[in-house]
Structure 1
Amino acid sequence: MMSPYTAEIIGTMMLILFGNGVVANVVLARTKGNDGGWIVIAAGWGIAVFVGAFCANEFSGAHLNPAVSVAMVVAGKMSVLDAGGYIMAQFVGAMIGAMLVYLFYREHFNVTDDADAKLACFCTDPSIRNSKQAFFCEAVGTFALILPIFLMATPSLTHGDAGSAGESILGLGSLGLLPVGLLVFGIGLSLGGTTGYAINPARDLGPRLVHALLPIKGKRDSDWSYAWVPIMGPLLGAALAALLYRFVLVS
């Protein structure tokens, strides 16, 4: 039986491999998918969420995102200690996934001159540089992720521990996770144009650290002045969604 922490590592690794992989395929030079556009990226991320969740679902509940784990704590469905272990596993998985994306597309990183495009294969940045507005967008985007996830949950799981091994966050089988992938696809299409919709601190910070550490040819800085936004914005949005769910919708 796989441990829930191992499942979170593997699921988050697959999330980043498919998610950052589609970004690399679209923005790096001389790939088959070069200049494929935003819809390709949004669709790829939706599939990435489904694949990652499918891999981890049976063993950890497939959080794959510190914002989800924090929301579970705020909603009273998970202990702080368990959430801490999940979050550490998610960051490890995200870093492994980012490393795999770099190794897979290494030759294309080498022939790409645009340093911003290389950074985009690892982490997010705002279309218009306004950190307060970007923080608001990340909070709203994550709120729009977490609240529907809770509302999709079956009644039997609503008052249970969704963080336990072997229980899906939705109380559904693995194919039942498809709505979450569609939800992320929709967030990308509707709300992703301002910040690139990190909506997941591990998805952004883990790969950003990898970008800083790797000897990538022609890379720029890792934009640490912005890095707090895709961490704190999603955590706030997740907490607000969990509070609304816990004290208003199911009280």
Structure 2
Amino acid sequence: MIKIGDFSKLSRISIRMLRHYDEQGLLKPAFTDQMTGYRYYGADQLPEAERIQALRSMGFGLSVIREILEKYGEPEEIEGFLLEKRTELVNQLRETGEKIRLLENTLQWLRKDGTMMDYEVVLKTLPERYVASLRRVIPAYDQESLLWEQLNEEIGPQKVRPAAPCYGLAVFHDEGFRDSDVDVEIQVSVAGSYQDTEHVRFKRVAPIQMASSTFQGSYDQITRANGAVAAWVTENGYDFNGPSFCIYHVSPAQAASPEELVTEVCFPVKKRE
């Protein structure tokens, strides 16, 4: 039999953690002296201790490790646990990457004195346009690509020609921000005359007076750009006058990375009476 101190050195697991494993029913000593309380382990328990440490290093909790050890000898069951953990870690990695990118973008917009850089706001009129339009409720804002894929698929057979300039934009029709089931309309300026398809409508859109701000980089900046437009509208005696929209001057389909995106956030406005 091996004393707990020696087993600790052999397994490279602290005595405190071995006691914890015992309390959790995960790795119980081969023998416990009832008089002294001393714990003793067998050499044949070292492989099990190694398995526990390997599973912990993969991020499994003790309760799940216990389940996995109970399934030891059933490769398909163990593979299921491992595949589930891999998916979880991949998702965590993606989420961490998004957080890091948000931090990097924010740092880029910090001035040396610690304040955020301003976004320039302009008042202008978007001219009348003839557009191909597709409006649908989609699961979330970040799934707007579903609309663009559907639009391109439906208008493709007509060999639709883009107008010059070709505005590609998304209009957000919901009264407020929504976490899911968002009402979005995409429009692309076209030249010529075409027949409506099952979901795409060709129509003329009247000129729109708007306050807008253009930025380069990821969409994480939209809220800050919106704030700049809101401040301008308030300070210059205007009111919001219709659903907001974004013009994609350089869209995800054209950009090799989020840093290359160029987006204009637009809010229809009218002079306050």
Of Structure 1 and Structure 2, the greater strand share is in 2
Of Structure 1 and Structure 2, the greater helix share is in 1
TM over 0.5: no
Higher relative contact order (CA 8 A, sep 6+): 1
TM-score norm. by structure 1 comes to 0.22
